Structure 1
Amino acid sequence: MTTPKNDKNPRTTGRPTLNEVARRAGVSPITASRALRGIPSVAEELAQRVREAASELGYVANPAARALASARSQTVAVVVPSLGNQLFVETLEAIHAVMRPRGLEVLIGNSHYSRDEEEDLIRNYLAYQPRGLLLTGFERTESARRMLESSGIPCVYMMDLDSGAGLHCVGFSQIRAGAAAAEHLISRGRRRMAFVGAQLDQRTLLRGEGFRRALQQAGLYDPALELLTPRPSSVGLGCELFAQLMASHPQIDAIFFGNDDLAHGALLEAMRRGVKIPEQVAVIGFNDLPASSFTVPRLSSIRTPREAIGRRAAELLLALMAGQPIAEPVQDIGFELMAREST
């Protein structure tokens, strides 16, 4: 009995190969590979022929095989604490916009603000030998730190700065940003100022620390006016915490919320309760989400450069991957105070 010939692929898997795609498109295998990875050096007419050939054959690239053949993968791994938070989505979009034209695939991991989950993600990604890693912040398990140090894979940290650790990072000073919120409220004549934070990741705690230091320097700090909870941040939680704070400390005249979600909830709860913003209580948020300029009243907030951080971090990682000398391993993108009607 003879085995029927497989016209599509001589391999026992029956899967079409890159060589078959190249032959059908009338190009070399390397050109086909570059076209399918979106590398812009391939002429669009050739790239279109390759894509059509791949579609007709049902070809799907095998990144594991490609990595084995070249002893290097074409992937970059990114780990963020949340995919439900718009600020990280904007950062990821910028990273993808930098990496994709260079033929690199972006693997996205969501740690859910858990150091243990992040450790698992890092372990899994390192097993595939990515070209580079982009991580959020500096707070992680000791095991994760050891894995990163021993891997030898280039890594860039986003959203915060650390000039003393010898790391490559792109972000802004969370402490200075928190201090800017306090200084803004003080300049508006406020004297009984509270800080409200949720989730309590390291960046939230640092901006709270900056706020605290500025109030202490002005002689206005009251530890009773800090309301912190590890619960996930949300608009609904902002409503709840605003009501709780006003019930326990009705004399406060300003609140700095650790992010805009909480501040949006506070504005809604204030409207429901007839609390006048900013006449009775000034409110300032953090991150300046797009909706903040449309709330009633319009929310004052610290604008963070999410897109710029993603772009610059990706560019810095590309330079590290290419072995280029890095003149600025710590890149401070800064932040902007957006003063609006709520203060």
Structure 2
Amino acid sequence: MTAGNSDRKHRRTSRATGRVTLDQVARHAGVSPITASRALRGLASVAPDLVDRVRQAADALGYVANPAARALASQQSQNVVVLVPSLGNQLFIDMLEAIHAVMQPHGLEVLIGNHHYDRDEEEKLLRNYLSYQPRGLLLTGFDRTESTRRLVEASGVPCVYMMDLDPGAGLHCVGFSQVRAGETAARHLLQRGRKRLAYVGAQLDQRTLLRGEGYRRALQQAGCYDPSLEVLTARASSVGLGGELFGQLLANHPDVDAIFFGNDDLAQGALLEALRNGIRVPEQVAVLGFNDLPSSQFMVPRLSSIRTPRKAIGMQAAERLLDLIHGRMVDAPMLDLGFELMVRESS
């Protein structure tokens, strides 16, 4: 039988069943169904020439994988669920890219859920994704509903928490201390001789509040904490909001000489507003951001910031989850990757 006749035969068979099957792809490529499955999932254990042959067969037959059927047959999928609070923040984009880079060579698909900093929405997403029988979960932080916590525990699905640390919980987590980062920011500005320090935070997720807690603690220890210099809003963090809050803060407290912003986009907006209004940074007021986004080092003046290891967090959390999925021993449940103070012209 010629290749063309073979293709037509497979296509007729697929029309009868409504779908080209993996077995048909395997026969067309001259390999076993297991090899075909591994090749299409991108597993490194399959020789490159076999991968090419299987993919060419799949293309020729118009094969589309059916992950739901595969999960039903094996009692588990090849999916890993990652829930983040935002897809508009470079912080989480960098983290997701790192997670995908780790998971893809192992044939695992990353299912991404964005809960928009809404705990109830996160619970709905998790309930939906657990019906897909994922191999593992990667969740952001520890701020969630009690029913979501019970859901994760009852599922029995391996889970690693990202960004935050919880030493007392015994949970697998990869991140850094948000409180210590806030303390470091305050101490840096105090060491620069600043006396009237403000904190500006938006979104008011748990991490923003913890940074503020650390900042407040350091100022209280230094005897210069003023609660009126905390500007907190539940509005979404943005460059525009940063400029707006910067103007309001200086209008109400013209003696402020240093501001720590809970996110870099807020701090960037403040620098633009200062430039627009002839306010000299850092001579009149020092500005410090958080996360050290790529654009911050190109601001005028260059923005000082707390650099967070977002890519490393994604990579290490994904690798730890792989260990848990495959039953490998993990040395300690908590991995602290720290942070770095990037001192530039704005402070």
**Is the TM-score greater than 0.5?**
yes
SS of 1:9's partner is helix
Q: Which runs of 4+ in 1 moved over 4 A?
A: none
Question: Quick one: distance in 2 between partners of 1:190 and 1:142?
Answer: 42
Contact 2:158 2:325 in 1 (8 A): yes
2:129 is the alignment partner of 1:125: yes
Which of 292, 310, 315 matches 2:314?
310
Offset, 1:11: 7.2
Match of 1:203 in 2: 207
Contact 2:202 2:235 in 1 (8 A): yes
Contact 1:178 1:208 in 2 (8 A): yes
**What count of residue pairs does the alignment treat as equivalent?**
339
Question: Quick one: distance in 2 between partners of 1:52 and 1:324?
Answer: 35
Question: Quick one: distance in 2 between partners of 1:18 and 1:322?
Answer: 25
Which of 52, 71, 79 matches 1:67?
71
Contact 2:14 2:21 in 1 (8 A): no
Match of 2:6 in 1: none
**Identity over aligned pairs, percent:** 74
Contact 2:10 2:61 in 1 (8 A): no
Match of 2:24 in 1: 20
One-letter identity of the residue aligned with 1:148: V
Offset, 1:37: 0.3
Match of 1:193 in 2: 197
Question: Quick one: distance in 1 between partners of 2:11 and 2:250?
Answer: 75
2:111 is the alignment partner of 1:107: yes
2:46 is the alignment partner of 1:36: no
Contact 2:117 2:205 in 1 (8 A): yes
Gaps (5+ residues) in structure 2? Answer: 1-8
Gaps (5+ residues) in structure 1? Answer: none
SS of 1:156's partner is strand
One-letter identity of the residue aligned with 1:337: L
Offset, 1:70: 1.1
Relative to structure 1, is the Cα distance of residues 9 and 337 closer, same or farther in structure 2, using a 3 angstrom cutoff? same
Question: Quick one: distance in 2 between partners of 1:30 and 1:13?
Answer: 21
Relative to structure 1, is the Cα distance of residues 81 and 44 closer, same or farther in structure 2, using a 3 angstrom cutoff? same
Question: Quick one: distance in 2 between partners of 1:167 and 1:45?
Answer: 42
SS of 1:284's partner is strand
Which of 227, 232, 235 matches 2:236?
232
Contact 1:8 1:16 in 2 (8 A): no
Offset, 1:81: 0.4
TM-score by length of 1: 0.97
One-letter identity of the residue aligned with 2:178: Q
Match of 2:54 in 1: 50
| 1:17-75 deviation line (CA, Å, top 9, x unaligned) | 00111111111111110010000111111101111111111101111111111111111
RMSD: 1.1
Match of 1:170 in 2: 174
Question: Quick one: distance in 2 between partners of 1:151 and 1:159?
Answer: 22
Match of 2:184 in 1: 180
TM-score by length of 2: 0.96
Contact 1:9 1:17 in 2 (8 A): no
Offset, 1:209: 0.4
Question: Quick one: distance in 1 between partners of 2:230 and 2:17?
Answer: 62
Match of 2:259 in 1: 255
Question: Quick one: distance in 2 between partners of 1:171 and 1:9?
Answer: 52
Question: Quick one: distance in 2 between partners of 1:187 and 1:135?
Answer: 36
One-letter identity of the residue aligned with 2:309: P
One-letter identity of the residue aligned with 1:164: G
SS of 1:118's partner is helix
Offset, 1:10: 5.6
Question: Quick one: distance in 2 between partners of 1:6 and 1:222?
Answer: 75
Match of 2:329 in 1: 325
Contact 2:10 2:24 in 1 (8 A): no
Offset, 1:220: 1.1
Match of 1:277 in 2: 281
Contact 2:238 2:265 in 1 (8 A): yes
SS of 1:190's partner is coil
Question: Quick one: distance in 1 between partners of 2:219 and 2:227?
Answer: 10
Question: Quick one: distance in 2 between partners of 1:131 and 1:256?
Answer: 40
SS of 1:79's partner is strand
SS of 1:203's partner is helix
